[in-house]
Amino acid sequence: MSRKFTPKVVTANDLRDGDVVYLTADDRWSRDHAEAELIEDEAHAEIRLIEASRQGDIIVGAYLADARPGAKGPEPVHFREVFRAKGPSNYRHGKQASEARA
């Protein structure tokens, strides 16, 4: 018996700087997980992944990651995706740099 499909987002890494990015419903790549398109249909998820994989001049390593609806947009489910969404673990770089100043 197959497992029930769970909501997903399409994620990858920016080809130029390696930062984690997410595919939005309007076909942009955003560094903000909350802006990602939350996909609740398996066939649509596969189509979006194929579309993303064709953008090899912008991103690398596209895949589907489990997510759930949240108050501000999709939220990561798995620890790995929570870690990726926060950015580098060194507070002086990437997405966490502004948090270190606060």
pLDDT for position 73: 96
| 52: in domain | yes
Contact criterion met (CB below 8 Å) for 24 and 48:
no
3-state secondary structure of 95: helix
pLDDT for position 87: 75
| Dihedral-angle region of residue 44 (phi above 0 means left; psi in -120 to 50 means alpha; beta otherwise) | alpha
| 85: in domain | yes
| 99: in domain | no
| 101: in domain | no
Radius of gyration of the chain (CA): 14
| 102: in domain | no
| 95: in domain | no
DSSP 57: T
Domain assignment of residue 30, given as a range: 8-89
What is the tens place of the pLDDT at every residue in 12-67?
Answer: 999 998 899 999 999 999 999 999 999 999 999 999 999 999 999 999 999 999 99
3-state secondary structure of 51: helix
Which tokens in the block code for residue 51? 């579309």
The number of folded domains in the chain is 1
Residue 101 pLDDT class (50, 70, 90 cuts): low
